[in-house]
Amino acid sequence: MSTKTRRRRPEARPDEILDAALSVFVEQGFTAARVEDIAKRAGLSKGAVYLYFPSKEAMLKALVEQSAGALAKAAERLISVGAPRDPEAALRGVIFMMITAMTDPDISAAPRLVLTEAHRFPDIAAHYRDQVLETARRAIETLAADGVEAGTFRPVDADMLMRCIGGPCLGHMMLASAFDFHPKNLREPVDVADALSDLLLHGLKPREDARCD
Amino acid sequence: MSTKTRRRRPEARPDEILDAALSVFVEQGFTAARVEDIAKRAGLSKGAVYLYFPSKEAMLKALVEQSAGALAKAAERLISVGAPRDPEAALRGVIFMMITAMTDPDISAAPRLVLTEAHRFPDIAAHYRDQVLETARRAIETLAADGVEAGTFRPVDADMLMRCIGGPCLGHMMLASAFDFHPKNLREPVDVADALSDLLLHGLKPREDARCD
DNA sequence: TGCAACTAACTGACCGGTCAGTTATTAAAT
DNA sequence: ATTTAATAACTGACCGGTCAGTTAGTTGCA
């Protein structure tokens, strides 16, 4: 019911406000973001957002918890599914998913926000680290172990692999969002993901064994 | 402290103020940073910093230009030197240098600042992109071409290689600085750099040819 | 059906604190 | 005595958060 008039059942309000808050926070940064702008973008007055959230910081925390929950769940799913059959395909899938997510400004907004604000909110940083990063690390560890067992991966350090998968995705995103700096030839997300997967799997040095893929 | 008394030749002041500004900006973010805190850290009163900089934003711009200039110069040097002899050693050197720099909070401070503030200052973003990123890309391109010519690298996309070198370094730094998240086994920068170099050079898949390293 | 009485949702003016930037003044060095 | 470096007090704009008041919608009752 899109009542143009005053809301009767305003249970959607908190999410509307959080959507608006996320976009303003990402654009302006948390400190420079004005609650009045958030309100305007959500179609309310400033006073009204304080009916739903006790403070600006509470909106930030709610956003972070939302995002962390979703990411942690995704990582947990990766762990529980595992990839004993085809670790390479699983790795390619993860990379494609990450590049796709990072390329979409809406999806990458919350992680970007966390990345830029975490160090000033120690509890947010700790929450994200424990919920998301540790879980992601375990997911990578599982994937790597499955690959080694299947003989398709050689053993490598999990933290390094994590940084070698997430780092390029992160870099790709930050270069685009902060500097508007894009690859010259790799135009589509799928091309970026494939190039990353290939480089990660086969390495920079040529293979003496003829078979590469 | 040299002169407890009033300075006669204050030509060192601008740099002292910029040092203080950098540390406060990185800790608090540009908007939340208070000029009075910068002044205090530089050992001055607030009014005095306005004798050297016309505004808070001018300090930010000066910092960015300083950092961008240094980084651009470093990248230019990489290009002009080239690495036709031993591209692998050159790559390992670049990676070691980057990991070392990113691990030092003082050295990585300015890039971190740029990364978090660039998107709100389009001219800063453009400047950094044109001065630093484009030059770095060319440096990587040169290195990759030298490697291919020498037969030690296979041809890969320069933008991808750039993201695969810089991304993990960036990720490593951000995980540490924002989340206090560190590798479990790779304790020293040199170990991180070696692990990254190895993974990048040899890939995740086992080599059928016995020789690795 | 019409009409009070009531409530939920919202508004916007306002208050108080903060902080970038200014200025009147002081003090050291020459 | 003059100039220069610096300060401390000040100004004014801005913004997070509050709250008295308004309006839209609901309920009870005739």
- Positions 126-155 of A with beta carbon below 7 A from strand C are none
Pick from B211, B204, B200, B206: nearest CA to B87: B200
Contacting residues 14-53/A vs strand C (CB within 7 A): 39, 44-48, 51
C-alpha B130, offset from chain centre: 15
Please report how many Cα atoms fall inside a 13 Å half-sphere around the Cα of residue B86, on the Cβ side.
5
- Same domain? B70 vs B29: no
* Interface check A213 vs B, CB under 8 A: no
Tens digit of each residue's pLDDT (9 = 90 or more) over B57-85: 999 999 999 999 999 999 999 999 888 88
Q: Are residues B46 and B121 in the same domain?
A: no
User: Has residue B208 been placed in a domain?
Assistant: no
User: Does residue A17 lie within any of the structural domains?
Assistant: yes
pLDDT of residue A209: 52
Q: How confident is the model at residue B180 (pLDDT cuts 50, 70, 90)?
A: very high
CB contact under 8 A, B200 and A203: yes
Q: Rounded distance, CA A77 to CA A184, Å?
A: 35
Q: How many CB atoms within 10 Å of residue A106?
A: 11
Q: Which residue is nearest to nucleotide C28 (CA to C1')?
A: B6
Query: CA-to-CA distance for A140 and A160, rounded, in angstroms?
Result: 10
The number of C-beta contacts closer than 8 angstroms across A and B is 208
Same-domain check for residues B134 and B156: yes
Does residue B213 belong to any structural domain of this protein? no
- According to the model, what pLDDT value does residue B47 have? 94
- Residue A159 is nearest to which of B166, B180, B185, comparing CB atoms? B185
- Best residue of B27, B160, B173 to probe chain A, by most A CBs closer than 10 Å: B160
A212 within domain boundaries: no
Q: Give chain B positions within 8 Å (CB) of A196.
A: 160, 163-164
Query: Which residue in B115, B156, B159 is closest to A204 by CB distance?
Result: B156
Contact between A209 and B206 using a beta-carbon 8 Å cutoff:
no
Report, as an integer, the average pLDDT of B105-133.
97
The pLDDT score that the predictor gives to residue B50 is: 96
A198 vs B212, which has greater pLDDT? A198
A43: domain range? 9-53
In this predicted structure, what is the pLDDT of residue B8?
53
| pLDDT at site B12 | 83
Considering the domain architecture, whether residues A78 and A178 belong to the same structural domain is answered as yes
State the DSSP code for A6: S
Q: Tokens 């709100």 correspond to what residue?
A: B120
**Per-residue confidence of chain A (213 residues) as pLDDT tens digits?**
334 456 655 678 899 999 999 999 999 999 999 999 999 999 999 999 999 999 999 999 999 999 999 999 999 999 999 888 999 999 999 999 999 999 999 999 999 999 999 999 999 999 999 999 999 999 999 999 999 999 999 999 999 999 999 999 999 999 999 999 999 999 999 999 999 999 999 999 998 754 444
Q: What is the pLDDT of residue A6?
A: 60
Contacts of B206 (CB under 8 A, 6+ apart): A151, A152, A153, A154
- Residue B88 belongs to some domain of the structure: yes
Count CA atoms within 13 Å of residue A117 on its CB side: 28
Contact B178 A115 (CB under 8 A): yes
- Residue B207, domain member (yes or no): no
Domains contained in chain A, number:
2
* B19: pLDDT strictly greater than 90: yes
CA–CA distance, B65 with A19 (Å, rounded to integer) = 35
Chain A interface includes B1 (CB < 8 A): no
Test B159 with A183 for CB contact under 8 angstroms: yes
B30 φ, ψ (degrees, to nearest 5): -60, -50
Q: What is the pLDDT of residue B20?
A: 97
- Structural domain includes residue B140: yes
Interface test with A, best of B24, B37, B204 (most A CBs within 10 A): B204
CATH number at residue A132: 1.10.357.10
Shared-domain flag, residues A88 and A120: yes
- Under DSSP, is residue A3 helix (H, G, I), strand (E, B) or coil? coil
pLDDT exceeds 60 at position B209: no
Give the list of residues 6+ apart from residue B203 with CB closer than 8 angstroms, or none: A199, A200, A201, A202, A203, A204, A205
Residues A78 and A146 in one domain: yes
Question: Hey, which residues 74-113 in chain A have their CB within 8 Å of chain B?
Answer: 88, 91
Q: Tell me: do B45 and B99 sit in the same domain.
A: no
Are residues B43 and B136 part of one domain? no
Residues A91, A174 within the same domain:
yes
pLDDT score at B45:
93
Q: What is the DSSP string of B127-183?
A: HHIIIIIHHHHHHHHHHHHHHHHHTSS----HHHHHHHHHHHHHHHHHHHHHH----
Residues A91 and A192 grouped into a single domain: yes
Strand D positions closer than 7 A to protein CB: 5-9, 15-20, 23-26
For residue B24, which of B109, B125, B84, B93 has the smallest C-alpha distance? B109
Residue A210, domain member (yes or no): no
* pLDDT score at A82: 83
Do A159 and A183 sit in the same domain of this protein? Answer: yes
Tell me: do B37 and B142 sit in the same domain.
Answer: no
CATH code for position B40: 1.10.10.60
Nucleotide nearest B30 (Cα, C1'):
C20
Residue B35 half-sphere exposure toward CB, CA atoms < 13 A: 16
Answer with the residue of higher pLDDT: B34 or B8.
B34
